[in-house]
Every structure is written in C-alpha cells, then in structure tokens.
C-alpha cells in the first residue's frame, strides 16, 4: 500500500471546505493514518517548497501558507500517491477537470486548496517532515472486503 501526504491549505479552512474535501478521500476508500492542524513556519515552507523558493511567486506563496493554520494528513491506500494526484487535479485549478478537488473548489493556481505528494519518494520525505511515526495509526477497515478483491 502507498502512503501520501496531503495538506489542506489555509484557503480550505478559511472557505469551510475541509469536510467536502476529506469526504472525497473517504468515499474513494482511502484510510486516514494521521491528521492534525498546524501553522507552517517560514522555515517549514522553505523546506516544503524548496523547488520553488527562487520563483517570483514564492514570497506570496510563503505568506499564504504561513499566515493561517492548515491541516496535514497522511492517507494510505492502493496506488495512493497517483490516485490522490488524479483526485486533486492539476496545479492550475482553472484547467482542472470538474470532479477533481481543484476543479470543483478553486479557480486559481496559487489558492488551489490542497497539496498532495507527487511521487512515492517525495511522499515518504514529506510524511516525515510533518508527522512522527507515533502520530500515524495502522488499522484495518472492517469493510475491506467491500472495497476490493483479495488479489487486487
């Protein structure tokens, strides 16, 4: 099973979208292993967005992600990294298909409500950045039989 890191960015909280977004992952059959509210520091933003610190939009991005709280969560499931990115949609929400989270809840490249890890390697690094092992729970769904066949 894959694990991936999701951040529900400050715009998701400010706009009251947490329940609608989290329910998309629950409906898909993904398991929430850990979830917490935090406020990003500037240092954490620079680590998390290291690939973007030299971009002209970085100062606005850092202000946006550090000035209000957000939610971090780890979810687990079959092909979770790739499937979550499909559910999230492309970075530019104006081009995101209807039915994706960004397509349904944003029309912006910057205020695009959610972050999701872009590869398995990134996911493991990002999970460690936000969660201690003890903060993550391993448990079985009692209805697993109805989510997929045993050989899937």
The answer to whether residues 74 and 33 touch, using CB atoms and an 8 Å cutoff, is: yes
Q: How far is Cα 45 from Cα 149, in angstroms, rounded to an integer? A: 40
Q: Catalytic annotation on 51?
A: no
Q: How far is the CB of 118 from Mg ion (least distance, A)?
A: 5
The residue among 118 and 124 lying less far from Mg ion, judged by its C-beta, is 118
- Residue showing the smallest CB distance to ligand UDP in the complex: 110
The answer to whether residues 88 and 100 touch, using CB atoms and an 8 Å cutoff, is: yes
Q: Maximum distance among all alpha carbons in the chain?
A: 49
Pairing, β 31-38 against β 114-116: unpaired
Residue 3: strand, helix, or coil: strand
Which part of the chain contacts Mg ion (CB under 5 A), choosing from 28-36, 73-81, 111-119, 138-146? 111-119
- Residue showing the smallest CB distance to Mg ion in the complex: 118
Residues of the shown chain interacting with ligand UDP in the complex, contacts defined by CB under 6 A: 52, 57, 61, 91, 109-110, 112, 115, 118
Answer with the entry of ligand UDP, Mg ion, none that 104 interacts with (C-beta below 5 to 8 A by kind). Answer: none
Which part of the chain contacts Mg ion (CB under 5 A), choosing from 23-31, 65-73, 118-126, 144-152? 118-126
Q: How far is the CB of 91 from Mg ion (least distance, A)?
A: 7
Look up residue 96 and give its two tokens: 């995101």
């Amino acid at each position: 099973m894959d694990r991936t890191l999701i951040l529900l960015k400050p715009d998701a909280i400010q706009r009251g979208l947490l329940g609608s977004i989290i329910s998309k992952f629950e409906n898909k059959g993904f398991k929430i292993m850990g979830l917490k509210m935090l406020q990003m520091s500037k240092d954490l933003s620079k680590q998390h967005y290291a690939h973007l610190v030299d971009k002209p939009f970085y100062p606005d991005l850092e202000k946006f992600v550090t000035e209000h709280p957000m939610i971090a969560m780890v979810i687990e499931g079959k092909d979770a990294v790739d499937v979550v990115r499909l559910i999230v949609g492309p970075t530019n929400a104006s081009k995101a298909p209807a039915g994706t989270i960004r397509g349904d809840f944003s029309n912006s490249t910057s205020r695009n409500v959610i972050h999701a890890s872009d590869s398995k390697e990134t996911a493991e690094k990002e999970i460690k950045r936000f969660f201690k092992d003890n903060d993550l729970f391993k448990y079985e769904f009692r209805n697993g039989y109805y989510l997929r066949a045993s050989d899937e």
